[in-house]
Every structure is written in C-alpha cells, then in structure tokens.
Amino acid sequence: MAEHISKQFDSELEAIRSNVLGMAGLVEEQVRLAMEALATGDLVTVNKVLEQEIRVNAMHLQLDDMCIHMIARRQPAAGDLRMVMTVIKSVEDLERIGDKAARICQRTKNIYEAGRLQVPRFNELNHVAEEALDMLSRTLDAFARLDAVQATEVIRDDRRIDDEYRALQRQLITLMMEDPRTISLTMDILWIAKAIERIADLAVNVAEQVVFLVKGQDVRHKTADEVERLVMAPPDEA
C-alpha cells in the first residue's frame, strides 16, 4: 500500500493488516485441527479448537473496532478505504470459517462419545477438506501479497469443490439407504461435509474481496471467467 504523510496513519493500517493475518492464521489452524480430531477422536484437540474459537471471536471484534475508529479518525479514501472495507467483510467470513471448524469438532465429539469409531467415507471427506484448506491458504496468501491473479484461481476452484461435495453426498445417501443402522452417524458426516464445503465458499468470499481491494471493482456474483477477464485486462480496460 502507498505510504502517507502521516506515519501514524501508515502504522494504523499496518496494524490492521497484521491483525487480519494473525486471525487468518488462527482460523486456518482451527480447520486443520478439526479434521485431525475427526481422524483421531482426540478430545484434547477438539477442546483446543473450541478454545481457539473464543480467541477468534475476540479478534473479530477487535478488528471491527479498529476499522470503525480508522474511518472516524482518518476518513480514508480510494485504496485506503477499500482496504478497510475489505478487512471488515473478510474478517466476518474468517470468523464464520472458525465457527464451521468449531462445529465440526462438536459433531466429532458426538461421534466418538457415542462409541462410533469408524467414520464412513473418511478418505473422500478428508480429500475435500484438504482441497478446501488449500483454497483458504492460497486466499490468505493472496491477501498478504495483494495478488488478484491468485485470488482469481481460488474463485475458479470453487466449482471443483462443489462437484466433489455433491459426489460425496451421493455416496453417503446411498450408504444410508443400504444400511439404515448407519443413518445417525452418516447424518453427522453429511453435516461435516457441508461445513467443509461452506469453508471453501467463505474462502472464495475473501478471495473476491482481494480482487476488489486490488482492482477496485466488486466481483461478487460474477462468474470465474468474468473475474479473470477483469483481473487480466490492462489498467485502462479494467
């Protein structure tokens, strides 16, 4: 971002950016630990994710407060205002990702406390989770480097995650039809799969905000092809 005459202004902007990256890193760890807990049934890991949720919520409120005070005191314009608005919207989605990780852990706790030690279609579920985590990681990297091209790649990957989720959903529904004894457990896994798919959707939301920050245009509700054309266009055509 461009430097300002006021060094304090620059310091405040950098503090907001650093806090976002800190919150993002914590949320990413939550998702990884949630899937680890599902694989192992480790209730210590489950509780760690639930405790981290408290920290994520506090960071969300802190960043909202920092942004509100920035607008009130500095009246940012142009790229600075886009940065503040991007942060406000992105931390909302990051907090929701943390919520999904916490709820995955709550379902995991239910599964293992009920003595159900086999997770059906775990390999397929874990594959979708790894894809979603990769999207989240690349989105956060794109935010850190203001890389609209990488953000666009994340937006394009959303369709693949949706296809994999629907395939897994069909497999789990078939399993319930073939063996009604698995219905309760499989419903928990279906919920976890949906939470993972939503994590990917929320990562896409943040990626769209990165494009807005860099290019100055709102790309929500645009197709991946439309976003790519905007990002790749010369400045005078964007």
Whether the predicted pLDDT of 4 surpasses 80: no
- What pLDDT, on the 0 to 100 scale, is given for residue 233? 87
pLDDT tens column, 91-100? 999 999 999 9
> Are the C-beta atoms of 3 and 80 separated by less than 8 Å?
no
As a whole-number percent, the residues of the chain with pLDDT over 90 amount to 74
Rounded Cα gap, residues 171 and 139, in angstroms: 29
Q: Which of 161, 145, 146, 149 shows the shortest CA–CA distance to 203?
A: 161
What kind of fold does domain 7-232 have according to CATH?
Answer: Methane Monooxygenase Hydroxylase; Chain G, domain 1 (1.20.58)
pLDDT tens column, 39-96? 888 989 999 999 999 999 999 999 999 999 999 988 888 888 999 999 999 999 999 9
- What pLDDT, on the 0 to 100 scale, is given for residue 141? 96
Over residues 6-17, mean pLDDT: 84
Whether the predicted pLDDT of 236 surpasses 80: no
Q: Is the pTM of this model over 0.85?
A: yes
Rounded Cα gap, residues 98 and 93, in angstroms: 9
Phi, psi of 4 (to 5 degrees): -120, 165
Report CA torsion sign: 54, 139, 80, 85.
negative
Answer with the residue of higher pLDDT: 193 or 122: 193
- What pLDDT, on the 0 to 100 scale, is given for residue 7? 75
Per-domain residue ranges for the chain?
Answer: 7-232
What is the distance, to the nearest Å, from the Cα of residue 75 to the centroid of all Cα atoms in its chain?
A: 29
Whether the predicted pLDDT of 6 surpasses 80: no
- What pLDDT, on the 0 to 100 scale, is given for residue 223? 94
Over residues 13-39, mean pLDDT: 93
pLDDT tens column, 189-229? 999 999 999 999 999 999 999 999 999 999 999 999 999 99
